[in-house]
Every structure is written in C-alpha cells, then in structure tokens.
Amino acid sequence: MVTYMLTQIQAIFIFILNKLKKLVMSFTAGHVAGDNKKIQQPLSSNQLTDKEIEVLLSMIKRTTFIGEDIEPLYNLVVKLQNQYTEQTK
C-alpha cells in the first residue's frame, strides 16, 4: 500500500514538474504555450516595453529602500513613468 502511494505521489510530482518546465521554457522562448499573443518588442535595444516598465514600477513599489537610495530612485522612477506615458499615448 505504501509503495503504491509513493508511486502515485512520484507520478503526480513528475506531471507537475513537466508542466512547470513547459511553462518556464515558453516564457524563455518569448511566448506562453497556448497563447497566440506575441510579447511587445522594445522600440530600440535600450528602450523598455510597457510591460517591462510596469513590472519594474511594481517591484519598486513593493520594496523598502534606505535613505541614500531615495533621490537616485526617485529620478529613475520619474524617467520610467515618463517613458511609460509616452509609449502608451
């Protein structure tokens, strides 16, 4: 009985692992399996997409910074917001 349960748990684990592997590989390939949408390409090699800017701003929002980082961070966020605003017009 225990051997049977361990075999079933192993099968479930392998199934989940394979699904996660496909998901990760699809993200690294630039698309999600089963999703026909393409990822928006940057306008130039140095310019971020709207989604990339949203991710960065969201991460900044959830993070705590020390005093000496506040001014450079503020300047960076202003630039990101300006770029995002220009791209979404």
Average pLDDT on 1-29 reads 73
CB of 67 closer than 8 Å to CB of 58: no
What's the pTM? 0.45
Q: What is the mean pLDDT of residues 31-49?
A: 58
83 Cβ partners below 8 Å, 6+ apart?
Answer: 47, 48, 53
Tell me which residue of 65, 60, 67 sits closest to 81, measured CA to CA: 60
- For residue 89, what are its two tokens? 């017009």
Is residue 56 scored above 80 in pLDDT?
A: yes
- What the block records as the tokens of 35 is 């999703």
DSSP code for 46: T
